[in-house]
Chain A
Amino acid sequence: MAKVTIDGKTIEVADGTTILQAARMIGPDVAPPTMCYYSKLKTSGGYCRTCLVEVSKGSEKDPRPMPKLVASCRTTVMDGMEVKNNDSEKVTEARKGVVEFLLLNHPLDCPVCDQAGECHLQDLSYEHGSAKTRTDFERRTFEKIDIGPYVQLHMNRCILCYRCVKVANQITDGRVHGVINRGDHSEISTYVEEAIDNDFSGNVIDVCPVGALTDKTFRFKSRVWFTKPVDAHRNCDKCSGKVVLWYKGEDVLRVTGRKDQWGEVEEFICNTCRFETKKTSDWTIEGPRKLDNHSVISANHYEFLKKPKELTINTVKPLAIEGGNN
């Protein structure tokens, strides 16, 4: 067991827990943002540097602070460790720099991108980034690639988080795509643009934190905040069948996995559920999906609004009557 204090809040966790996991156990106000770490995927994390935190006290035995900011997704806790996340100015400054680097090559085509509204990079740059860019150089550009009949890859938008590669390695059998080339030239690609032919390949869409891998069946159909998410399930022999349907009017525009408060899917779903069953009759509806109030998707969903206390006639007191019956 190890006792760790993050932003003044102490929690006791098992040995081997990372700082990020401990922070998530405490709650969303102290949890650092993540772009590449995904708790459902082994060995994810350590690429994007958004979860950097300051360790102001290493442990009970060695109370010296760590010399540099550490990636909280890859650093395990020690007993008596003290961590500063939002309290640290160094972290705020470093995170701003990280966002600037992530946006160096990211095209600001949010008005066109289907991910807008549920994009982690959008949220991150809104909360931690600066409003202006300082770079003078041209952004690197790629042609968009169709990966199979359902998934489209916009390499321009990719931030190289490796999540989709890990999905292909761990969820599906026989990965056919990966990162080729090195450094600034690296890009997600399939060998000779070979189609991903696997029952769970559609999950790369859900894990992609930006709009690099998008659903071709949903392409430009609607902005996410005009669709209404509904929890539903069906009997599926390949996956759990627990999904979110995104309705516009009577039509199911797309099907995704259920995402928790960290933006990670609870269970991976198969391609049949995701792409091929888009009729209401295919599904058992459970009810509306609860979304974070701050999400733009919950705009115009009135179920979260607090009803004002109604003014009843009894609360209006009559004016005092002067002078009797005149």
Chain B
Amino acid sequence: MQLTNRSKVVVHKEMNWVEKLYLPAIFSGMFITIKHLFKKKATLRYPEVTREFAPVYRGMHVLKRDEEGRENCTACGLCAVSCPAEAITMDAAERKKGEENLYREEKYAAKYEINMLRCIFCGLCEEACPKDAIYLTDRIVPSDYSRGGFVFGKDVLVEPVDQRIDISKRKKDYSIVHNN
């Protein structure tokens, strides 16, 4: 039974004496190999050199702080409910007196975990967030030897106060345009 008409018939032709020497075939093969030594390399020496990403690239998440260094996240759970991979879990806690400089609102995420093995980097969490708290950045999720290491907690996700992560390229204007 023939499935397609693209099949090629294999013929076992007897080789002549030049072909039996194999030298022309070896030299033409070596020529192709050596030619590539002088071409521009396709690989980059990561992590010393990084490739430039498209502005829409979605990599590792960051939990943002506001201008005063307070965490934006209020553990509203909209990222977790919008997550199609169910990668996000969180526990909320109430802000106590004296913690006003740590958390922006009276509720905050005591635990915030993203399972990077489940995450499909779709960016829906970023779109769902009403508090400007979660953004996907152009950072690459580091590799690890164990599965447990891929459950990223607040220690990894929240940006340090002195090392802010620039997300200005990803900020979008979602203001609603009214027709009436």
**Size of the chain A interface, CB-CB below 8 angstroms:** 21
| Chain A interface main SS type | loop
Bound Cα distance from A132 to B36, whole angstroms: 61
Chain A residues within an 8 Å CB radius of B92: 220-223
Question: Which of B72-99 touch A at CB < 8 Å?
Answer: 74-78, 80-81, 86, 92-94
Bound Cα distance from A69 to B1, whole angstroms: 77
Least CB separation from A111: chain B residue: B76
A300 lies within 8 A of B176 (CB):
no
Given contacts A131-B176, A223-B76, A300-B86, contact A111 B130 (CB under 8 A): yes
Is there a chain B Cβ closer than 8 Å to A77's Cβ? Answer: no
Report B145 CB to chain A, min CB distance, Å. Answer: 29
Report A198 CB to chain B, min CB distance, Å. Answer: 26
Task: Mark contacts of A189-228 with chain B using CB atoms, 8 A cut-off: 1 yes-contact digit, 0 otherwise.
Answer: 0000000000000000000000000000001111101100
A219 contacts which of B1, B94, B130 (Cβ < 8 Å)? B94
B81 lies within 8 A of A299 (CB):
yes
A220 contacts which of B1, B78, B94, B131 (Cβ < 8 Å)? B94
Is there a chain B Cβ closer than 8 Å to A321's Cβ? Answer: yes
Given contacts A112-B74, A220-B93, A326-B1, contact A225 B131 (CB under 8 A): no
Is there a chain A Cβ closer than 8 Å to B66's Cβ? Answer: no
Is there a chain A Cβ closer than 8 Å to B107's Cβ? Answer: yes
Task: Mark contacts of B141-165 with chain A using CB atoms, 8 A cut-off: 1 yes-contact digit, 0 otherwise.
Answer: 0000000000000000000000000
Report B56 CB to chain A, min CB distance, Å. Answer: 26
Bound Cα distance from A222 to B75, whole angstroms: 9
Is there a chain A Cβ closer than 8 Å to B105's Cβ? Answer: yes
A111 lies within 8 A of B86 (CB):
no
Is there a chain B Cβ closer than 8 Å to A110's Cβ? Answer: yes
B76 lies within 8 A of A321 (CB):
no
Given contacts A110-B76, A111-B74, contact A296 B81 (CB under 8 A): yes
Least CB separation from B175: chain A residue: A132
Bound Cα distance from A171 to B134, whole angstroms: 45
Is there a chain A Cβ closer than 8 Å to B106's Cβ? Answer: yes
Is there a chain A Cβ closer than 8 Å to B178's Cβ? Answer: yes
B81 lies within 8 A of A300 (CB):
yes
B76 contacts which of A112, A299, A326 (Cβ < 8 Å)? A112
Bound Cα distance from A226 to B90, whole angstroms: 10
A116 lies within 8 A of B76 (CB):
yes
B77 lies within 8 A of A225 (CB):
yes
Chain A residues within an 8 Å CB radius of B81: 223, 225-226, 296, 299-300
Report A250 CB to chain B, min CB distance, Å. Answer: 15
B176 contacts which of A110, A132, A225 (Cβ < 8 Å)? A132
Least CB separation from A131: chain B residue: B176
Bound Cα distance from A179 to B45, whole angstroms: 71
Bound Cα distance from A323 to B2, whole angstroms: 10
What are the nearest 5 A-B pairs in CB distance?
A111-B76, A223-B77, A220-B92, A112-B107, A111-B74
Known: A131-B178, A220-B94, A222-B77. 8 other contacts (CB 8 A): A112-B105, A131-B176, A220-B75, A226-B81, A296-B81, A300-B86, A326-B1, A326-B2
